[in-house]
Structure 1
Amino acid sequence: MTQPDVSVIIGAYEAMPYLIECLESVEAQTIGPERVEVIAVDDGSTDGTGEYLEEFADRAPMPVTVVRQENSGGPSGPRNVGLGKAAGRYVFFLDADDRLGTEALERMVAMADRAGTDVVLGRVEGVNRTAPKSMWGKTLERTDVFSSNIKFTLSAQKLFRRELLTRNGMRFDESLFTGEDALFTMEAYLRADGVSVISDYTCYYLVGRDDGKHVTKSGSYTLRFDSARALMHLIAEHVPAGGRRDQLMVRPFLVTLLPQFGPKYLKDSEEVRRHKFELAKPLMDDYWTEGVARRLKVHERLRLHLVAEQRPDLLPDVIEFVRAKKQAAALLEKRGRRLYLAYPHFRDRAAGIPDTVYLAEPREARGFPGYREGGVDSFVRRAARKARRMLTSSKRVTPGGTAAAA
């Protein structure tokens, strides 16, 4: 048998009736059944998922392998089992609740072959749930994690060159019960020889289940800290300290850590609040930098600054203010080139929070009446240009060959 172009790996647990449309979308692929294999792993379902997969295998036009196993407790185990059996040049991880656009596999494989890239992201659309949006501005034949917004989509539903995964021994971390796909996908981005983005066709439909089971419910807030810690460690392992690392660290700080200090924090017991600060401390000590802080909005930076400084006494006021969707008063200084947003504790001597925490970066400050983009850096640049002009002028040479007086 010739090698398939793509192995579609489906991990399934209690997936009925969503599995029906999922498999119909695989069957309808325009790539051609001879170019595809399906490896479906039933993770101990009791709702007929396993039986339906076997029925599909009997009638499907492409080869289908069904594995039935005891429940593993998370999506990593089934994906790893599927990966171990995959023979395709590429693999695609399809969740059993979701479905593919009809041309998805054909377009993604063609893109990877044409561009020579190791990972392809196909546009994702939410059905009864939200989907990531910021990375779909335009189709990119070749990009990377530093030159695009792909760090904000770390789910596993991408096309991966299998050789990249086998060469680096990549597998999903079965010790994580949330964020395991973020770890896998970020590592793939960092190791990949190029990433492609398909924005002009919806390749993947992310389906919201009526029973809410698509959302990770198991365990507690400690799992989120486990996930943030694992992703931060991975980034630090692969990227030296500096601007590029800071750029990637925005993702775990903003998406995983910050929500633990959002509205739900106000409902936490004192014991849980104390524990969250304890769990956050080593992460803030190791990875919270000025470079990360500057990439955040003021209210995001302020909350994480208070966590870094271990100031649980000041945090609730800020969270309440943000939750109420209040607009912080804007204070313009330096002839309109500096804009401070006066969230709680601004210039409160007792709180002792530096003004720089409240200083809006240009992308947030734009649109405020009276703000003039430029700031301190522009003053420095203008002064440097003036100094260079004066230096050049002082070295002018007269026609007689002597230096002219400035």
Structure 2
Amino acid sequence: MADMPRTNHEPDVSVIIGAYEAMPYLIRCLESVDAQTIGPGRMEIVAVDDGSTDGTGEYLEQFAARTAIPMRVVRQENSGGPSGPRNLGLGLARGRYVFFLDADDYFGEEALERMVAMGDRAGTDVILGKIVGVDRGAAKSMWGETVERADLFDSHIKFTLSAQKLFRRDLLVRLGMSFDEKLRTGEDALFTMEAYLRGNGVSVVADYTCYYLVGRKDGKQLTKSGGYELRFDSARALMKLIADHVPPGPRRDTLMVRPFVITLLPQFGPALLGQSEAVRKHKLELAAPLMRAYWTPGLARRLKVQERLRLTCVAEGRLDLLLDILRFLKDKKKPKAVRKGLRGRLHLTYPHFGEGAGLPDAAYELTVPERIGGGKPVVPEPQTPTVFVRRLRRKARRTAGALRTALHVPRRA
């Protein structure tokens, strides 16, 4: 362990860096910390080398020796995942806020200054800074505007659950929060969602790119490795956390969209067509208790049709129907939009629509905006059942007329 001299005052922010085989990405990462406009007197770095063999630990110590930022470097045997280094760094941090910076990524120069200012102004416990991808994708839907207090249920912040956020350290200490070291993927989603649910609000800094999420060309990012069982572990943990803190109903359904669509649904995508029968059945077995516990009609109606259909097949154990839908998607076929039912609702003609093959017509109904074959999204009609109401009125008039005839009641002029 190498320690740099520290000032006595509490820094505004502790940058926690867990690093494993991070060269040469670590060079730009640390340069971006050094360049922060918040200044070295208001921050510290806690870096944990998790058993690297590529010079990562040595470079951290070299950087600590020359930076003006108070920095602590810990070198340890490999722990097998990012949770251990993050937890160790959190235990050593002294800042009012902490930021978990991945060693592959880097900051925008004003990132910490802007996020700390937002947290102080809004009094929130979690501050999201705009993230963009470099040689990889990154979520975009939550960066529409800067807001001091985002609504977890109405906004898209639930779709960014990575650990790269500014957290008020007092919240984490008070709640005894840490990353689950048993999870090998999705541990950051569990941590961040708990902070969203139990903290004093979430802010969004969307008018400045605070964080650059870098895609490694060597494929060493943990999110790209590991068996499918890890994803079910992650989905199970996140669903349970949500259920523990939000009672059944629309608000829980809204949050459950995230683990169902982002974590669970990809296990039942077109890649399933190339997997063995044993793997297919095992996935259905792993999903079954999750579907029984958390799959609801309210959640289903918050999904796109093909998402709902696939998960409905999983819930009902209909692997045969699921494979037909996956072949349709793999072949890039486009469903047609047709109206059906007393209310004339729009339905999409994915495989087995209207055939009575086991999936109800309601599973095919368009309930959220979605694109069909390009162009503008198709928006479902308002829930006012116009056609249905007109039919009821006609039926009521016919019934009233028949009653008047039977009772010999003259029609009013």
TM over 0.5: yes
CA change 1:95–1:356 in 2 (3 A) is same
1:169 aligns with 2:176: yes
Inter-partner Cα distance in structure 2 for 1:170 and 1:193:
15
SS, match of residue 126 in structure 1: strand
Per the alignment, residue 360 of structure 1 pairs with 366
SS of residue in 2 equivalent to 1:363: coil
Partners of 2:370 and 2:379 within 8 A in 1: no
Whether the 8 Å contact between 1:142 and 1:196 is mirrored in structure 2 is yes
Alpha-carbon shift at residue 378 of structure 1 (Å): 5.7
Q: What residue is the counterpart of 1:402 in the other structure?
A: none
Query: How many residues get paired?
Result: 383
Using the size of structure 1 for normalisation, the TM-score is 0.90
The Cα shift of 1:147 comes to 2.6
Give 1:387's aligned residue.
none
SS in 2 for 1:7: strand
Secondary structure of the structure 2 residue equivalent to 1:364: coil
Q: Aligned residues: percent identity?
A: 68
Instruction: Report the counterpart of residue 63 of structure 1 in structure 2.
Output: 70
Partner of 2:328: 321
Q: Does 1:374 align with 2:382?
A: yes
- Stretch of structure 1 that moved more, 212-221 or 27-36: 212-221
Residue in 2 that maps onto 1:49: 56
Corresponding residue for residue 266 of structure 2: 259
Give the Cα separation in 2 of the matches to 1:152 and 1:232. Answer: 14
What is the match of residue 345 of structure 1? 352
Structure 2 runs not aligned, ≥5 long:
1-7, 393-413
Change over 3 Å in CA distance of 1:333–1:75 after alignment to 2: same
Matches within 5 A, 1:76-225: 76-225=83-232
- 2: CA distance, partners of 1:158 / 1:196: 10
Q: Which amino acid aligns with 2:109?
A: T
Give CA-to-partner distance per residue, 1:367-398, whole Å, 9 cap, x none.
899988234556789999xxxxxxxxxxxxxx
For residues 195-249 of structure 1, the C-alpha deviation after alignment (integer angstroms, 9 at most, x for no partner) is 1001110000001111021242443100000000000000000000000000000
Pairwise CA distance, 1:352 = 2.1
Structure 1 position 326, deviation (Å): 1.2
What is the CA deviation profile of residues 49-87 of structure 1, one whole-angstrom value per residue up to 9, with x for unaligned ones?
A: 000000011011110000000000000000000000000
The answer to whether the 8 Å contact 1:362/1:373 transfers is no
For 2:18, which of 11, 22, 35 is the aligned residue?
Answer: 11
What root-mean-square deviation, in Å, do the aligned CA atoms of Structure 1 and Structure 2 show?
2.1
Which secondary structure does the structure 2 equivalent of 1:142 belong to?
Answer: coil
Structure 1 counterpart of 2:47: 40
Amino acid corresponding to residue 357 of structure 1 in structure 2: A
**Contact 2:228/2:267 (8 A) holds in 1:** yes
One-letter amino acid matched to 2:27 = I
Amino acid at match of 2:74: V
Q: Using the alignment, how far apart are the partners of 1:136 and 1:382 within structure 2?
A: 43
Residue ranges of structure 1 left out of the alignment (5+ in a row): 385-406
Task: Report the Cα distance in structure 1 between the residues aligned to 2:379 and 2:175, rounded to whole angstroms.
Answer: 49
How far does the alpha carbon of each residue in 1:252-284 deviate from its partner, in whole angstroms, 9 at most, with x for none?
000011000001111111100010000000000
> Is contact 1:337-1:375 (8 Å) kept?
no
Structure 1 residues 71 and 378: CA distance shift in structure 2, 3 A? farther
**8 Å contact kept, 1:338–1:375:** no
